Amino acid sequence: MNKRSYSGMGAGYVSVMIIFTSICLTIFAVLSFRAAESNSAFDARSGDYLSQYYKADSEAKEILAQLDGIAADARSSGFFENAFEMSAEELDGVEISRVQSGYSVSYSVEINEKQTLAVNVTFLTNGGYEITRWQNSSVSSDNDDEHINVWDGSTL
């Protein structure tokens, strides 16, 4: 009797491999789709923030231009200190303090409900100005209702 021995792969093994490959490809496709969706949402949020920031930046530059015009008028009047201080205090949200070289002016413009654009500018008595701060900062919410209980290290 001739016995033929067949030691090849069976059809069941190939079917399992095809099913496993199909599941892997499906998982990778779903993960790829989720990553693309997440990137799209991030891009939309980023675009919204950029438009808010540039709007606030534009407003801050307008205030700086007003202050520069006030400084130019004050220098031409011959009484820089009095004229500049009186005129600049009329602008809303502008804080003025006297420094050795002139006046330090600070103001902020809201970017969104969580951030502001803080600006500090020193107007020099001899002409010109120097921007010392142009930075976005977080708005702090000092709410006593949101106090976090932290263990103080004492035992009962």
CB 112, CB 46: distance < 8 Å: no
Backbone angles phi, psi at 133, to 5 degrees: -155, 130
Distance of CA 77 to the CA centre of its chain: 41
pLDDT, one tens digit for every residue, the chain (156 residues):
566 666 556 668 888 889 999 999 999 999 998 988 888 888 777 888 888 899 999 999 999 999 988 888 888 877 777 788 888 888 888 888 888 888 899 999 999 888 999 999 998 877 788 999 999 888 776 555 566 777 777 776
Radius of gyration of the chain (CA): 33
pLDDT of residue 128: 83
φ, ψ of residue 3 to 5 degrees: the values are -105, 125
Return the HEC string of the chain: CCCCCCCCCCHHHHHHHHHHHHHHHHHHHHHHHHHHHHHHHHHHHHHHHHHHHHHHHHHHHHHHHHHHHHHHHHHHHCCHHHHHHHHHCCCCCCEEEEECCEEEEEEEEECCCCEEEEEEEEEECCCCEEEEEEEEEECCCCCHHHCCCCCCCCCC
Q: What is the pLDDT of residue 86?
A: 82
pTM for the predicted model, two decimal places: 0.64
